[in-house]
């Protein structure tokens, strides 16, 4: 199956079942317009997104103004966060419950808010593992 372009996927249905589509999207880069649609569905502020993507808010605003495409590393992080977010909504049953979990101090995560871990792939992996435990009823 040939890889498809960034414009051909629905981020709300995005999962990790089509790895080639994800790889193609990362290599191509995510256009700011697609990122904006993703950001609009998420509970994260522009300041939080700039932290997660390791961009200054000023640079982030320039991306918006110039309608730039994110580089592969930033595109990969956007997709990782989107995949995690979609999984969280699925596990919690709705957006509001998952958003509340992201904001709540979590003992199982060392007493921090889950969303504070979204700035690294290791943190995203830790949250993915925690969601899987919750999904299977294994609460620590």
Every domain of the chain and the residues it spans: 14-135
**Contacts for 88 with CB less than 8 Å, ≥ 6 apart:** 98, 101, 102, 127, 131
Given a cut of 50, is residue 14 above it in pLDDT?
yes
Instruction: List pLDDT tens digits, range 36-87.
Output: 999 999 999 999 999 999 999 999 899 999 999 999 999 999 999 999 999 9
Read off the pLDDT band of 1 (50, 70, 90): very low
Read off the pLDDT band of 2 (50, 70, 90): very low
Mean pLDDT of 113-122: 97
Total residue count of the chain as it appears in this document = 140
Pull the structure tokens for residue 23. 């790889």
Given a cut of 50, is residue 128 above it in pLDDT?
yes
Pull the structure tokens for residue 8. 């051909």
Q: What is the pTM of this model?
A: 0.86
Q: How far apart are CA 29 and CA 11, in angstroms?
A: 14
**CA 81 from chain center: how many Å?**
1
């Amino acid at each position: 199956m040939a890889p498809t372009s960034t414009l051909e996927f629905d981020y709300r249905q995005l999962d990790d079942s089509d790895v080639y589509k994800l790889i193609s999207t990362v290599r191509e880069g995510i256009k700011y317009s697609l990122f904006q649609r993703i950001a609009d569905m998420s509970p994260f502020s522009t300041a939080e997104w700039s932290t997660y993507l390791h961009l200054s808010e000023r640079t982030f605003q320039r991306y918006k103004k110039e309608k730039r495409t994110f580089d592969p590393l930033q595109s990969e992080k956007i997709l990782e966060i989107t995949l995690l977010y979609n999984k969280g909504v699925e596990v919690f049953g709705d957006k509001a419950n998952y958003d509340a979990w992201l904001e709540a101090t979590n003992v199982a995560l060392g007493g921090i808010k889950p969303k504070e871990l979204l700035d690294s792939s290791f943190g995203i992996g830790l949250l993915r593992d925690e969601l899987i435990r919750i999904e299977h009823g294994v609460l620590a």
